[in-house]
Amino acid sequence: MFASLRLLSRRALVSQVSRVQSLAQAPLRQFSTEAAAPKSGGGGGTWAFLFGAAGIGGGLYYAKEKGYLDEFLSSTPAATTQPKVQDYEKVRKAIADLMSSEKAEDYDDGSFGPILVRLAWHCSGSYDKATNTGGSNGATMRFPPESDIGANKGLDVARKLLEPIKEQYPWISYSDLWTLAGAVAIEEMGGPPIKWRPGRTDQPDGKNCPPDGRLPDGAKGAQHIRDIFYRMGFNDQEIVALSGAHALGRCHADRSGFEGPWTHSPITFSNEYFKLLLDEKWNKKKWKGPVQYEDKTSKSLMMLPTDMALVWDKKFRPYVELYAKDDQKFFDDFAKAFSTLLELGVPFKEELPKAA
Ligand code: HEM
């Protein structure tokens, strides 16, 4: 437990420092090629939750003491062995190593982190609260029609990247692996510790794929954003917090039709997205592609119509302002909402506490 605590505080410190550094450097560099976070694969937050360091994660420590953890960890039907916390630690390290592997150096901005975050979000964001369908449980995106819908274009890249890890650790379900990869990616790119716990099981086929249309369309406006995220059970503040993930990664014309990164440091988790939304002047980009916005200063950054809706809508905007001013508040709120997102529709055992 103390080791977990130590890890967490060391990581929090490094993360703070790297964040300050990355923000200080942001105007100087165009696209970062280095991830801000240490690549140790230590992951204090995730494991503090798994181990449940008292006062930080709470949850599974209690569960472990009561003997629930072993029962919980062995309840994955795909398991051929009884995975322990140490086994998940190995998977976490494999994901962290993959993100910063040599292969990653030639990919986009030098990290697979952003696309792993997008995979975790898209497999979870199909959840519908009213019918309790969709969500990360099942990993149905392995199958058509979900694998082929326009919103998931390009995510085959992330799924293929994780395949060797699944082969090496066959006891982990795809749904646990994809969501864990998202959590690890956030942390490794300098973001907050994400509470994550195992327990998802995989569906054998695509019979229960959620219908197309459950993920947001970047060409639309505030009402559409609310329709999509309220359906999952999120409120306005959580919608804005989650949207801050667009500090990371970029749009690809051959995937979504949109093009370019949102920030100058697309492999560093930060509140830069909110600052840019407010501080920059955004003009409609003159091009043959779909409507998107570009910054007046460098003309190298982009915003989707849905991103602009966050500053144009009077109920979303105060949260954009809050997160632009207070990066700690953004980190805290993002961590909670992202953890909730990864757990939507997952039937964890009753006795286990929620990742709150
Ligand atoms: C209104 C809500 C949202 C819309 C319309 C939206 C739309 C998009 C689009 C069009 C792309 C570009 C895909 C490509 O061309 O490769 C993208 C990328 C991305 N999105 Fe979102 N998104 C939304 C919310 C979120 C949320 C909630 C998260 C995570 C919590 C997220 C994380 C990401 C990341 C990390 C990327 C970069 C992927 C990469 O670099 O390959 N997005 N999003």
**Active-site annotation holds for 122:** yes
Q: Please confirm whether the linkage preceding 145 is cis (ω < 30° from 0).
A: yes
Any domain includes 207: yes
251 CB within 6 A, ligand 1: yes
Per-residue confidence (pLDDT) for residue 132, from 0 to 100: 97
Any domain includes 17: yes
CATH number where 321 lies: 1.10.420.10
List the chain pLDDT tens, one digit each, 356 residues.
333 332 333 333 333 333 333 333 332 223 333 344 433 333 445 554 554 433 223 233 223 334 434 555 555 554 455 788 899 999 999 999 999 899 999 999 999 999 999 999 999 999 999 999 999 999 999 999 999 999 999 999 999 999 999 999 999 999 999 999 999 999 999 999 999 999 999 999 999 999 999 999 999 999 999 999 999 999 999 999 999 999 999 999 999 999 999 999 999 999 999 999 999 999 999 999 999 999 999 999 999 999 999 999 999 999 999 999 999 999 999 999 999 999 999 998 654 444 44
Any domain includes 341: no
Judge if 65 and 111 occupy the same domain: yes
Distance in Å from the first CA to the final CA of the chain:
19
Boundary-marking domain end, from 190, 214, 238: 214
Q: What is the DSSP string of 104-136?
A: HHTSTTT-SHHHHHHHHHHHHTT-BTTTTB-SS
Per-residue confidence (pLDDT) for residue 83, from 0 to 100: 87
**Identified catalytic residue from 47, 121, 178, 262:** 262
Sheet with strand 282-284: strands edge to edge: 282-284, 293-295, 302-303
Q: Letter for the amino acid at 153?
A: K
Per-residue confidence (pLDDT) for residue 290, from 0 to 100: 98
Judge if 8 and 145 occupy the same domain: yes
Per-residue confidence (pLDDT) for residue 348, from 0 to 100: 85
Judge if 206 and 250 occupy the same domain: no
Mutate to test the pocket of ligand 1, among 107, 121, 262, 308 (most ligand atoms within 8 A of CB): 121
Judge if 163 and 22 occupy the same domain: yes
233 CB within 6 A, ligand 1: no
Distances (CA, A) of 323 to 235, 274, 326, 330: 16, 7, 5, 5
Judge if 49 and 87 occupy the same domain: yes
Instruction: Report the separation in Å between the CA atom of 246 and the middle of ligand 1, taken as the mean of its atom positions.
Output: 6
Instruction: Report the separation in Å between the CA atom of 334 and the middle of ligand 1, taken as the mean of its atom positions.
Output: 15
Judge if 135 and 67 occupy the same domain: yes
Judge if 198 and 294 occupy the same domain: no
Residue 310's domain comprises 222-332
Collapsing DSSP states into helix, strand and coil, what is residue 42?
Answer: coil
63 Cβ contact list (under 8 Å, min separation 6): 52, 69, 72, 351, 352, 353
Any domain includes 268: yes
Boundary-marking domain end, from 188, 214, 240: 214
Collapsing DSSP states into helix, strand and coil, what is residue 355?
Answer: coil
310 CB within 6 A, ligand 1: no
Judge if 210 and 230 occupy the same domain: no
Any domain includes 160: yes
Any domain includes 280: yes
Judge if 208 and 309 occupy the same domain: no
Boundary-marking domain end, from 194, 214, 234: 214
Per-residue confidence (pLDDT) for residue 50, from 0 to 100: 56
Instruction: Report the separation in Å between the CA atom of 120 and the middle of ligand 1, taken as the mean of its atom positions.
Output: 11
Per-residue confidence (pLDDT) for residue 43, from 0 to 100: 43
CATH number where 164 lies: 1.10.520.10
Crossing angle, helix 236-243 and helix 317-325, to 10 degrees? Answer: 50
Token couple for 329: 């508040």
Per-residue confidence (pLDDT) for residue 82, from 0 to 100: 72
Contact yes or no for 352/52 (Cβ under 8 A): no
E strand residue ranges, 95-210? none
Task: Tell me which DSSP letter residue 257 carries.
Answer: S
**Identified catalytic residue from 47, 121, 122, 196:** 122
Token couple for 175: 């749904």
218 CB within 6 A, ligand 1: yes
Per-residue confidence (pLDDT) for residue 9, from 0 to 100: 32
Any domain includes 339: no
Alpha helices in the chain (DSSP H): 2-25, 44-51, 59-65, 68-73, 85-99, 102-105, 113-124, 155-168, 174-188, 222-232, 236-243, 272-279, 305-312, 317-325, 327-343
Count of domains forming the chain:
2
Judge if 42 and 67 occupy the same domain: yes
Contact yes or no for 339/196 (Cβ under 8 A): yes
| Range 69-84 burial, b when 16+ CB lie within 10 A, else e | beebbeebeebeeebe
261 CB within 6 A, ligand 1: no
Judge if 248 and 208 occupy the same domain: no
Judge if 248 and 126 occupy the same domain: no
Instruction: Report the separation in Å between the CA atom of 70 and the middle of ligand 1, taken as the mean of its atom positions.
Output: 36
Rounded to two decimals, the pTM is 0.84
Any domain includes 296: yes
